[in-house]
Amino acid sequence: MPDARFSDTFEEGELEIVEPLCAVFRRTLRDAGQKYTPERARILDTIIELDGLFEADALLESVREGGFRVSKATVYRTLKLLDDAGIIERIPFDREQSHYQLVYGRSPGAILVNVDTGEIESVDVPELVAIRDAICAKRGLVPEGHRLQIFARPK
Amino acid sequence: MPDARFSDTFEEGELEIVEPLCAVFRRTLRDAGQKYTPERARILDTIIELDGLFEADALLESVREGGFRVSKATVYRTLKLLDDAGIIERIPFDREQSHYQLVYGRSPGAILVNVDTGEIESVDVPELVAIRDAICAKRGLVPEGHRLQIFARPK
DNA sequence: GTGCGTGCAAAGACTTTGCACGTAC
DNA sequence: GTACGTGCAAAGTCTTTGCACGCAC
């Protein structure tokens, strides 16, 4: 199995990533006195392979492909670390398990949910930032982030 | 205790409600061959008193005030009915229980979350509809709804 | 009178945690 | 060598469900 610790499969046409994600994660961990283990590296790598939009159990399954052994607990613990590091974002859903999305270095967008098929797509919505900031400014708040979910069905 | 079945405490300056919410609910139930029970009436009334933004356990507690006896199960079952009827909307949150919001007759808006205090406010964002519709149109989808959460902290 | 609704407790789904062992630094 | 991390299984949280009884229509 490949050693994910030094790979960087994250490539987006839209914007230039100056630093591999794994380096970001490693630095964040080190700054908190935490360790960059093979499990954590492998999990981040798998998230990138999944195109950055996934559920915890699907991630676990993918991580285990090829015989890599990880526990559910480690996956959940790593997801929380990645969330805290601002690399991914947890997206809670109705009557379903949470989804997670890669967000680091991407412009904040929306989740488009096809209510017929359950299919989920990530959409860029740059103008949301202005809307959000205006709402916060009016109340003397500093925006920390936002999340938009759009539900739709085929015509 | 007051009989909620015939009261209508829902009043919004912003828009005119032509029909009491309880009447909407009652009609929806009847159309589905279901019954308008005191429990259901009381729960809807309490939601209105809570200004239409609440969590399931807070609702249960409020409903029980004054000695009214209801089970948790009935509250959850009624919430699902109200959601299906388009009167309220379930809003799943991170690492927390879901929140619910009164939406019937209101323009679709956003939830503003103060990440320091956990306080939650409902905000009108009419321009979201256009954004949403444009995204759906581009993909040949019919919009069913949307949901925006904004996270902010005091300056 | 019949079918839908209710309460209770138990089950469920997803996620988190305690503990003993293992390993990155 | 010393935290910190891991796996396992058990516990937690919120929510849903099965069943017997009760009530709205």
Residue-by-residue pLDDT tens, chain B, 155 positions: 344 433 444 444 444 455 788 899 999 999 999 999 999 999 999 999 998 789 999 999 999 998 999 999 999 999 999 999 999 999 987 667 889 999 987 777 889 988 888 788 889 898 899 999 999 999 999 998 898 999 898 98
- For B123, phi and psi rounded to 5 degrees? -125, 140
Residues B96 and B131 grouped into a single domain: no
Q: Total domain count for chain A?
A: 2
Structure tokens belonging to residue A8:
């960087």
Residues A2 and A75 grouped into a single domain: yes
B64 touches strand C (CB under 7 A): no
State the Cα–Cα distance between residues A145 and A107, nearest whole angstrom. 11
Structure pTM?
Answer: 0.82
For A77-99, b/e burial (b = at least 16 CB within 10 A) is: ebbebbbebebbbbbbeeeeeeb
Task: State which residues form the domain around B130.
Answer: 108-155
Residues B67 and B26 grouped into a single domain: yes
Residues A9 and A66 grouped into a single domain: yes
Residues B124 and B154 grouped into a single domain: yes
CATH number at residue B92: 1.10.10.10
For A76-130, the pLDDT digits (tens) are 999 999 999 999 999 987 667 889 999 887 777 889 988 888 788 889 898 899 9
CATH number at residue B127: 3.30.1490.190
Residues B112 and B82 grouped into a single domain: no
Residues B74 and B9 grouped into a single domain: yes
Q: Which residues pair with B148 in a beta bridge?
A: A148, B110
pLDDT at A93: 78
B73 touches strand C (CB under 7 A): yes
Provide the positions of strand C that have an atom within 7 A of a protein CB.
3-9, 13-18, 23-25
pLDDT at A17: 53
